[in-house]
Amino acid sequence: MKYIFHTVKPLERWDNIAYQYYGNQYKIQPLIEANPHVQISGILKEGTEIKIPIDDEVKIDNSMLPIWKQSNPQTEIKSETNINNSIQTLKVPLHQIHSKNWQHKRGSIGDIAVDNEDIKQCINSIFATSKGEVPLNPEAGTNIIEAIDENPENAAEIAIKTAYKEIPRQEPRCEILQAVPETNIDTGELKLTIYFKNKKTNITDKTEVYIK
């Protein structure tokens, strides 16, 4: 395994760096494992030097960098998306990011999620992650799938209790107002609609979590 070194820039997170070097914002595990001295979540400390594992097959392609990683933040770039294989023109100037908390917007390349959209993605990540799945943060996520498997007739109640227990602990920026479960009789899929209030802006919103 080969390594190159990267110095953390302002507002960078693991997913930003993973996208910059691998073209995939979700490929953070190799980075975390190679840098056990660096915090697991949140915005990384500016100036921190981290190791980037690079396989021989991996080629660093500047055209795959998010627009805010380019030397000129106004430059337009074209990237091949691994979502729908279409070519998109991206334009995300760094000076337009006014929030300390942001992440890549799921289903896109180069777009960002801030404020309530960021909170929504974090809530969905909580339910999509099983406890113990993140080695350096074993308490991240939930055990909802195992709990429902053991007691399927109480799936809706379990989902509500999990939301009220885990979201305030893992996403303290929001206050849960209501959690409404709905089961699809045909597929057995459980949809949990979570209504919340952004504590900073007092803006209310909702997000839907799907549990199979």
pTM of the model: 0.57
pLDDT score of 4:
86
Q: Is residue 167 predicted with pLDDT exceeding 60? A: yes
Q: Which of 52-66, 85-99, 134-148 has the lowest mean pLDDT?
A: 85-99
pLDDT score of 134:
77
Across 22-34, average pLDDT: 84
Let me know: does 174 contact 198? Beta carbons within 8 Å.
yes
Give the pLDDT band of residue 203 (cuts 50, 70, 90).
very high
- Which fold, 116-211? Nuclear Transport Factor 2; Chain: A, (3.10.450)
d(CA 56, CA 148): 43
Domain range annotation of the chain: 2-97, 116-211
Write the pLDDT tens digit of every residue in 72-119. 333 333 333 333 332 233 345 545 555 666 667 777 666 777 789 989
Provide the residue type at 209 as one letter: V
Residues sharing a CB contact under 8 Å with residue 93, sequence separation 6 or more, in sequence order:
67, 68, 73, 74
Across 163-171, average pLDDT: 93
- Whose CA is closest to 122, among 83, 195, 172, 159? 172
End-to-end CA distance of the chain: 37
Q: What is the DSSP letter of 73?
A: T
